[in-house]
Structure 1
């Protein structure tokens, strides 16, 4: 088992390195196996092709993030005062930062839209779990239906994370969590006007 884990880590490391150098379209299994110092048979023990590899890597990231998000719901229960808390935001951004090379490789390989859509879907799942279980969330009375309000919240968070990835994770997780937290309480027009 340890040997298989070691092979998968080598493959992942090679994938991350090669994406930044040659991109996903030109990437071949031969490139990966050479970089990982493994034979093709070892690669095919784990993955069908490069698309299966990328799906598996993304699935691992998404599952880890989902565990982080769902864990918050289990810990906080029904006493929720914030749909997406600062604590969960910071923990999630910290996880992305700890795995930044892989996140960036997936972002580049799949394109912004696919990877960020997966992240958005996790956030949406968390929101609906919290909405369904909440006994004390108060929504301000606005002319915007709840579905649109949720979409605005989701895409503001996703947009900030996407920009952070494009900027090569320059800011710390605390800085990004602070930006996300502040953005939840400010209208977009207020960000640009005095």
Structure 2
């Protein structure tokens, strides 16, 4: 690992370490530099301030998740279940689990709603692009307008992931992927009434 990547890793690890102790508002660049055992100048070589740090960390996470979501997009899927398949969901949840400390830090620093909105937007873009490309899907008989159907679909996925993160990721990625897969096909009232 080169010196630049090593410094960035130390900064990221210090951010993760300190965010749960201090919260984002009280956290300073000096705190991060001291914890990372680097000088402030080294921090400023990579980031303009703590806000730039969080923006770039989030950008990396969202890019990685976008790559996972789009990894199977080339397939000619004509089934809504295949557009966001179990495999894509599982890969995404595994990624979140592997980076759980950073994800939790982002939740704390940015606020749950902002972080989850970014994730929702990636999913929405994927859905809209796939729906546009999937000539075999017919929504003309749906009792709900497509935009509302998609919003309900996205909300169910994001809500499950959000709750899983708030619960400290106690369930396995396989369990969460299965919950999301089941919830895609069952009306909410049927989930509650069994």
Taking structure 1 as the reference length, the TM-score comes to 0.95
- Most deviating of 92-101 and 141-150: 141-150
Whole-angstrom CA distance in 1 between matches of 2:181 and 2:140:
17
Whole-angstrom CA distance in 2 between matches of 1:181 and 1:55:
31
Give the match for residue 77 of structure 2. Answer: 79
How many residue pairs get aligned? The number is 192
1:162 aligns with 2:175: no
SS, match of residue 12 in structure 1: helix
Give the match for residue 118 of structure 2. Answer: 118
Give the match for residue 49 of structure 1. Answer: 49
Unaligned runs of 5+ in 2: none
CA drift at 1:143: 1.8
Give the match for residue 137 of structure 2. Answer: 137
Whole-angstrom CA distance in 2 between matches of 1:133 and 1:14:
43
1:108 aligns with 2:90: no
Give the match for residue 29 of structure 2. Answer: 29
SS, match of residue 137 in structure 1: coil
Give the match for residue 38 of structure 1. Answer: 38
Give the match for residue 14 of structure 1. Answer: 14
RMSD of aligned alpha carbons: 1.3
Give the match for residue 88 of structure 2. Answer: 88
Taking structure 2 as the reference length, the TM-score comes to 0.95
Unaligned runs of 5+ in 1: none
CA drift at 1:136: 2.6
Q: Is the 1:68–1:91 contact (alpha carbons within 8 Å) kept by the matching residues of 2?
A: yes
